[in-house]
Each structure stands twice: as C-alpha cells, then as structure tokens.
Amino acid sequence: MKNLIIASTSTLHSGTYLDYLLPELETLYSGLDEILFVPFARPGGISHDSYTEKASSAFQQIGKQLVGLHTFEDQVAAIADAKGIFTGGGNTFVLVHALHARKLMQPLREAIFSGTPYLGTSAGSNICGPSMQTTNDMPIVYPPSFKTLGLVGFNINPHYLDPNPNSTHMGETRETRIKEFHTQNTIPVIGLREGSWLEVKEDAIILKGKLSARVFLQGKAPYEIESGSQIDYI
C-alpha cells in the first residue's frame, strides 16, 4: 500500500527546515527509528554529507535518525531494506541523473509501491509523477531519461507561483510553461503552492495545507481545487 507525502517545499518563508511538516512526518513514520535519506538533488551544490546533516537536524526533533543513501556500498539493497525514505529537494536534473546512473529509480519505485513510507519535497516531489518535465530547475546535467517514479498519474509543479497582474516582467509564468508542456504532452499537472502537500494512501490522494492547488489538463482551462479535496480522479 502506497503511503507517502508529496510536498511542494521543505522550508516556508520565516520557517525552518521541514518545521511545518513535522506533525505529518510523525504520523507518516510512526513506529520507525531510522529513515533513509536520498541527498542526490544537492541544492546549491551542497555535498551529500552536508545535506544529510542538515536534514538530520529536523528529524531529530521527532526522534528519528536519518542515514544518507550515499553511505551504502549496495544502494539497491539499502532501499529495499529501508523502513522509511525521504528524498530532499534541490535540482531535479541532478537527482534524476543520479538515480538513473545508479540504477535506483526502479528499486525506489518498488519500495514505495510495497508500502515503505516516503516523503518527497521539491525535487523529491517532482520525481513522484510519470516524468520530471514540469520541474522549474535548470538543466545543469543531462539525465538519460525524463521518466520518473510514476507514483501518481500526474506531474507535479512544486513551488507553484501565480501570475502577478501588476508585474512588468515579460518572461514566462509557471502557467505559461505548463500550458506549453501540454502542447506536446497529455500528462495532467498539479501546481502545488508552497505550504501545500499531497497525502497519498494507496489510491486516495488528498490535498493538504492552507492553500488551494491549480490543476492543468491538456486542452482545458486550468482550475483550482481546495485543500481537503480528494484528487485521485485526475
């Protein structure tokens, strides 16, 4: 049974790392003392060790130990044996490149489908859909495939920002980019605003947090869904 949280971000404005999600994580990882951390997205180029140390400080607040996947010689076995898994944010291209290069994408998918509790934030959420093609990140490396975990039947656009009607900026908005994606692809997309997350229990998917989310379907006008909505019909 799938049991996961797909969160838009790890840190809210004026908050600390994962602080707004800690009550949810206590429930998600209930009864577990050790969580496997996937640090490969490397925000800002941070080292795997430094990233694991940063994430560990948050999990210590709920009595959990975090162990970096990069420290294992057999990383496929580490995923299979994990009691719980967390993939942190950063650059989605770097993350997906690393998972494919290490042949970890399929083992990670199998572990989550078998019921291993999973948290993804930002880039770690991007990989929950069928592909990573609605990421906001710069393509600083070239992964062999854009295919990701396919834990849900739609792509995620984390950190979703609404167009500002008063802005003089003439660049593309998130909505413009997602609509452009739909000129070539049929996969639905959910724009997750910061502070929002999806709670996935097997086939039931519920939007959580204080904000609504924006749904994009090919050939249709985007629309809003309110917090508390069940969205597994997409």
- Residues classed as catalytic: 122, 137, 159
Contact between 120 and 6 (Cβ < 8 Å): yes
What is the rounded CA–CA span in Å between residue 141 and residue 95?
10
Count of alpha carbons within 13 angstroms of residue 161, beta-carbon side: 11
* Closest residue by Cα to residue 160 from 198, 111, 103: 198
Token readout for 194 is: 């910061």
Q: How far apart (Å, rounded) are the C-alpha atoms in residues 139 and 93?
A: 6
Task: List the structure tokens of 161.
Answer: 């920002």
**C-beta pairs of 161-170 under 8 Å, 24+ apart in sequence:** 161/193, 162/193, 162/214
How many Cβ atoms from other residues are within 10 Å of residue 52's Cβ? 20
Rounded Cα distance between 10 and 19, Å, is 8
Q: In whole angstroms, how far apart are CA 229 and each of 29, 55, 160, 222?
A: 23, 30, 18, 16
The answer to whether 105 and 99 are in contact (CB under 8 A) is yes
CA dihedral angle for residue 103, residue 150, residue 96, residue 171, rounded to 10 degrees: 170
